[in-house]
Amino acid sequence: MFLVTGGAGFIGSHIVDALLAGGHEVRVLDTFLDAAHRERPDYLDPRATYIEGDVRDPEVAARAVQGVDAVSHQAAMVGLGVDLGDIADYVSHNDFGTAVLLRALAARAFSGPLVLASSMVVYGEGRYRCEEHGLVRPGPRTPEALDGGHFEPPCPTCGRALAPESVPEDAPLDPRNVYAATKVAQEHLCTAFARETGATVTALRYHNVYGPRMPRDTPYAGVASIFRSSLAAGTAPRVFEDGAQRRDFVHVRDVAAANVHALQAGVPGAFNVASGTPRTVGDMAAALARAVDPSLPPVVTGQWRAGDVRHVFASPKRAATQLGFRAGEDFEAGMREFAEAKLRA
């Protein structure tokens, strides 16, 4: 029996589908949080067993983990959020919810694989190299620099321009917003659980996930969903900064496949889940606009958000060699599919 927490959501439901397609028995725990679900989704596969409840409720968590052999923990508040008014909700859903789940698993002497939905946000800024000083860790960008249109982080030692590189899993963790801090805490909690129980814990650090079933019209959605919602409303996507921020956009079906690989491999540690091909946010917005309505090309605003980072994209090598996972979805085809997909209310 596989348990998928948050299994009615964007990524979780695709994991459920992939497990069912492999002939596995699946149980879903989801609270159907209002911020994520305006109504019960119509894509839920009836072959799975559903528990509607909150992972933070000890009784619900205890019922959900009974008899399970493996867990994919996807339940969380996601995205950058609105402001610090969200801080307690993020900590409650992500960190306290994980703690309650881990306690329930420990009470059942769970020793099977536990896969945690982590995120590339744990890295903060990505990996940078200075011509003179080698690998460096730039500090947070200042409001003054951003207001002046200076978006690239400089070398903290000499102030020169930096060259961004792909981030490996052993890069230092440097969370730069509330959501990122909760993801780091989730990883640490799960690592402590593994150390105490002997269970295998795999943290999958998702990069920018896109695809069918993304929620619409919410500040908690990913940038792809925000752009798609704008285009659906007949408005050009508004790209912050100069649009040259580099990310790795990975299809949700690839993310689901990575979870299945991790659940079956039972390999401990952290792994990037990414396509391995960095693209700019402007590139992604343009590809989506071409697929939805070529008459609405992206508008580059020069605006910025506190807590955003400039470049972060991944090295997928470790996931390929140790989990046997390689992303396979084509970006342009994925954007065309996403352009036509129904967004979740």
Please report where in the chains the tokens 């610090």 appear, as a residue.
Answer: 84
Give the model's confidence band at 337: pLDDT under 50 very low, under 70 low, under 90 confident, else very high.
Answer: very high
136 bridge partner residues: 128
SS3 216: coil
Tell me the pairing of strands 26-30 and 49-52: parallel
At how many degrees (to 10) do helices 223-232 and 331-340 cross? 50
Least confident piece of the model among 39-53, 74-88, 184-198, 217-231? 217-231
Residue 332: φ, ψ to 5°: -65, -45
Coarse DSSP helix, strand, coil percentages of the chain, rounded to the nearest 5 percent: 35, 20, 45
* 199 torsion bin: left (phi>0), alpha (psi -120 to 50), beta (else): beta
10 Å CB burial of residue 272 (0-12, 13-18, 19+) is buried
On the CB side of 144, how many CA atoms lie within 13 Å of its CA?
A: 0
Percent share of the chain, pLDDT over 70: 95
Q: Mean pLDDT over all residues of the chain?
A: 93
Whole-structure pTM value: 0.93
pLDDT, mean of residues 327-335: 95
User: Can you tell me the distance from the alpha carbon of 206 to that of 216, in angstroms, rounded to the nearest whole number?
Assistant: 20
Task: Report pLDDT digits (tens) over 61-116.
Answer: 999 999 999 999 999 998 766 577 889 999 999 999 999 999 999 999 999 899 99
Q: What is the DSSP string of 265-310?
A: H---EEEEE--S--EEHHHHHHHHHHHH-TTS--EE-----TT--S
pLDDT tens digits for range 133-180: 999 999 889 999 999 999 999 999 999 999 999 999 999 999 988 999
Alpha helices, DSSP H, located in the chain: 10-21, 58-65, 87-90, 97-107, 143-147, 178-197, 223-232, 252-265, 281-292, 317-318, 331-340
Taking only the tens place, the pLDDT of each residue in 183-215 is 999 999 999 999 999 999 999 999 999 999 988
- Tens digit of pLDDT for each residue in 120-134? 999 999 999 999 999
